[in-house]
Structure formats: structure tokens, C-alpha cells
Amino acid sequence: MTDQNKAVQKFEQPFLKKSQLVKQPVLNDSIFLKAFLLFSQTFQNYQKTSIIRKYEKYPIKGMWKMDNQLTKELKEKYTIVFHDLNLLEQAFTHSSYVNEHRNLHLSDNERLEFLGDAVLELMVSQYLYRLYPDLPEGKLTKMRAAIVREDSLSKFAKECHFDQHVMLGKGEENSGGRTRPALLCDLFEAFLGALYLDQGFEVAHAFIKQVIFPKVKAGAFSHEMDHKTKLQEVLQKSGDVFIEYRLIKEEGPAHERIFWIEVYVDDQLIGTGQGKSKKLAEQAAAENALAALEE
């Protein structure tokens, strides 16, 4: 007895115990159940066929070989496994490839790049806001710009080996597109946009936390900060310390006042500086302290 017949028999039994008056409805219900089960099986077969056709519709020579290598690297290095490979494919499809393969009806990565750009800016902004609680808005903005600019993101893309997998048209390939910073920057943002759509903010954030944030914390972008912040970052690498700036003297008329500042770490003098305001004098003291520490 087939599974469908068993299901029909189970469905009919309660009705068969009743009077003959309900036999006709039972027959109708039985026919309906058979039709429903048949439809369900047909629909499941259609879904399976559709999935197969989806990946056979636009066969790209060598593409799945590339995707297999890329997905393997993503899994091994970042524990990332895409649910929708079409998003991953789109992220690595440059507009030049689409233009030279119009018959394949592919989508390039420009829309994903647009999304990834916004997602990345939010992640970096949030990270800097928490990492540097005393850094003013202007400095945070300058540092964020340094992290997400073209040359920085192109380097991150190369470190992830994304340049090896992007699909380019012949013209773009021959003109050196695979090493072009602007293209690699867009590729990195497109991948992030695809990852965000596929698995959400947390997984995308974990990827950026692994690829970008360690470099920020290590001081790769410290030249974008003021000297006081950089000094604090350097000194706190080995643990919490108490940094204090002390005004030791000030001279001159009110409109040409000069201030002298000393900077101490746990009551130990490490630098001195002067300036036309206390803030400028503190910056000078921090700069001199950094220079002394580097000697």
C-alpha cells in the first residue's frame, strides 16, 4: 500500500463508522485528499526541477570551479558559508564581464557595492566610537575616511585574495583591471553587501572584525589621530596606565600667552611641550613623548 493510500485510509476511517448519510461527503473528502497529496508531490518535484534548472540556465565556463575554490577559502579562513551562491556570484561579477556576456543575463556587483559601502561605514563608525571615547567628531570622521578609502579597501581585498576570483571582461583584464585599486575597493564592498544580505549584520560584522579592526587597533591608522590619542594608544597596549598633563608655567601678555605642559605616566615624566594654548601645549608634549618612546 502506498503512503498516499495509507493517508487516505487513515483520513476515511472516522467517517466510515458513521451512518450512510455521510458517505457522500466522505467520498468528496477522500477525493480531495488524494488530489491534495498528488498536488503536493507534484509541487515538490517542480521545486527540485526548478532548483536544478536555476543553476543550469546560465552555464558559465569554469565559473563553478572558481566558486568552489572561493567558497572553500571563505569557509577555511573566515568560517563563512553562503546560503545563496547567486549573491556571491554577483558580488564577484564586474560590469565588464556582464557587458561581454549579455546572453547570460547576469547582474554586476554595482548595487551590492552601494549597499556594502553603507554597511561598512556604519560598522567602522561604531567601532571607532567605542574604541576612542574621548576622540572628537572631527578626528573620528578623518580616521573613518582613512579606513574606508580606496587604497585601504583595495589592500584588504588583496589580503582576502578576492582579486584572484573577480570575473572581468577581456578588455578590463588586459588593461590591468585585476590590480586596479578602485575595482578592488568596489569588490570588497560588494562582497560585504552580499554577505550582509545573505546572513545579516552579525556575520558581516564578524568578517570586518577579523579583517579590518585588528589593524586599526594595532595603530595602522594612528597617523590620522592627534598626538594625545596616539600616545594613549601606545601606552595602554601593555595595560591600563594613568596619563596626566600638568601645566607648569605660562608667560607673556594675554594676547600672546605661552603655556608649558609636562606629560606624566604613573607620575613619571615622559615629555614636555609648549604652545599658544593649553591644548596646543598638550599636543606638543604628547608628540615629544612619542618621539622619546620611539628612540
Query: What's the rounded Cα separation, in Å, for the pair 80 and 202?
Result: 12
**Nearest one of 286, 252, 268, 251 to 260, comparing CA atoms:** 251
Q: Which of 35, 37, 30 is nearest to 13 (CA)?
A: 30
Q: How far is CA 137 from CA 12, 133, 141, 232, in A?
A: 73, 10, 6, 18
Active-site residue 189, yes or no?
yes
Of 156, 145, 289, the C-alpha closest to 221 is 145
Contacts from 105-109 at CB under 8 Å and sequence distance 24+?
Answer: 105/58, 106/58, 109/186, 109/187, 109/190, 109/194
Catalytic residue among 108, 113, 172, 189: 189
Residue 226 bears catalytic tag: no
- 117, 172, 262, 287: the active-site residue: 117
Query: Which amino acids are annotated catalytic?
Result: 117, 189
